[in-house]
């Protein structure tokens, strides 16, 4: 790898730090990082860890916006550290905080348990027609036309980064709300022609904590790094839930 050109320029980065074994509450620490045009926020953090303070904690893996582990707040906006660049802020100071609306584990690392639980709860797998009615391998694959795939493809692009939860004030106000990514994932399975689990999943959708916790702030779709548009998924599910409500009035279970 070619070494970036040293320009002598410096950028200040404020980091909200929290060390559970010694701190009562988080505090801000400022670091001076040598600025280069092509440096990402994640690389800046790595520079800090390697050269300035090895105790700092943050998550990362792929460095290419696909693993979803490097989410953080950059000047109050949820972003992927590997997809945000210093050049978009320089020469102004950058402030980094752990993803909003999640408890802080340590420094920029948050507790994602609730998010993962929500993703699991919406039954994120294809449910065959009848339980136990599995198609035999010898019968060949489940076919799907490009049109059928187009119906859910966008909602299947999620990388579970959690930026949309950090952007959602409704989740921040009340974390019982199922939230954007999980509902988009739910829509993804409900809209899949190979899936027959809609009736089961509508029960989740129809709750107060389902789609009805959403007031269409719409910021989730703005911050999503993958163009999933969870707000649209929720809006479409609201329509489905309303239809389901009408049907439910005429044939109560």
Partner 1 sequence: MSKRKPYTRELPSDWWMKQLFYTKYMIREGSSVFITLYSLILAWGVLRLSQGEVAFNGWMASLQNPLMIILHLIALALALYHTITWFSLAPKAVDLWIKGKRLDDKVIISGHYATFIIATILCLLIITL
Partner 2 sequence: MSENKEKTYIRSHEPVFWGLFGAGGMLTAFLTPVMILITGLLIPLGIIDKGNFNYQTLHNFATTWFGAAVILVLVALPLWHTLHRIFHALHDLGVKRGRDWQMVFCYGFAFAVSVFVFTLLLQMF
Q: How far is the CB of 82 from partner 1 (least distance, A)?
A: 23
Please report whether residue 242 would count as binding partner 2 according to CB under 8 A: yes
Which ranges of 129-178 would DSSP assign to H, the alpha helix? 146-153, 163-167, 169-173
Which of 4, 20, 103, 248 binds partner 2 (CB under 8 A)? It is: 248
Task: Check residue 173 for interaction with partner 2 (CB under 8 A).
Answer: yes
Q: What interhelical angle do 146-153 and 180-190 show, nearest 10?
A: 170
Question: Quick one: which of 165, 168, 185, 55 has its CA closest to 119?
Answer: 185
Closest CB to partner 2 among residues 28, 242: 242
Q: The sheet that has 71-74: what strands, in order across it?
A: 27-34, 10-17, 94-97, 71-74, 77-80
Burial (Cβ within 10 Å: 0-12, 13-18, ≥19) of residue 198: middle
Rounded least distance, CB 15 to partner 1, Å: 15
Name the 3-class secondary structure at 74. Answer: strand
- Residue 91 found at the interface with partner 1 (CB under 8 A): no
Contact residues: ligand FES, CB under 6 A: 60-63, 65-70, 80-82
Tell me whether residue 66 or residue 149 sits nearer to partner 1 (CB atom). Answer: 149
Options 38-46, 134-142, 197-205, 210-218: segment touching partner 1 (CB under 8 A): 210-218
Given a contact cutoff of 8 angstroms between Cβ atoms, the answer to whether 29 and 17 are in contact is yes
By C-beta, is 59 or 226 nearer to ligand SF4?
226
Q: Which two tokens stand for residue 65?
A: 């916006």
194 binds partner 2 (CB under 8 A): no
176 binds partner 1 (CB under 8 A): no
> What gap in Å lies between CA 32 and CA 139, rounded to an integer?
62
- The contact set with ligand SF4 (CB under 6 A) reads 158-164, 180-181, 184, 224-226, 228, 230
- The contact set with partner 2 (CB under 8 A) reads 120-121, 169, 173, 203-204, 206-208, 210, 212, 215, 238, 241-242, 245-246, 248
């Amino acid at each position: 790898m070619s070494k970036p050109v040293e320009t002598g320029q410096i950028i200040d980065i404020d980091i909200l730090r929290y060390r559970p074994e010694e701190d009562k509450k988080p505090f801000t620490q400022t670091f001076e990082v040598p600025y280069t045009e092509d440096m990402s926020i994640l690389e800046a953090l790595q520079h800090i860890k390697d050269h300035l303070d090895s105790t700092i904690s943050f998550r990362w893996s792929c460095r290419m916006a696909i693993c979803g582990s490097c989410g953080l707040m950059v000047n109050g906006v949820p972003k992927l550290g590997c997809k945000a660049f210093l050049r978009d802020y320089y020469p102004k100071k950058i402030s980094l905080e752990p993803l909003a609306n999640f408890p802080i584990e340590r420094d920029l690392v948050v507790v994602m348990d609730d998010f993962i639980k929500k993703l699991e709860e919406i039954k994120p797998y294809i449910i065959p027609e009848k339980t136990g009615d599995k198609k035999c391998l010898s019968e060949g694959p489940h076919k799907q036309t490009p049109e059928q795939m187009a119906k859910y493809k966008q909602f299947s692009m999620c990388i579970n980064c959690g930026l949309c939860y950090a952007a959602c004030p409704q989740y921040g106000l009340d974390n019982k709300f199922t939230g954007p990514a999980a509902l988009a994932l739910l829509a993804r399975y409900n809209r899949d022609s190979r899936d027959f689990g809609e009736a089961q999943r509508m029960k989740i959708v129809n709750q107060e904590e389902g789609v009805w916790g959403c007031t269409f702030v719409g910021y989730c779709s703005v911050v999503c790094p993958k163009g999933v548009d969870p707000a649209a998924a929720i809006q479409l599910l609201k329509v489905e839930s309303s239809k389901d409500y009408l049907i439910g009035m005429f044939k109560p279970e």
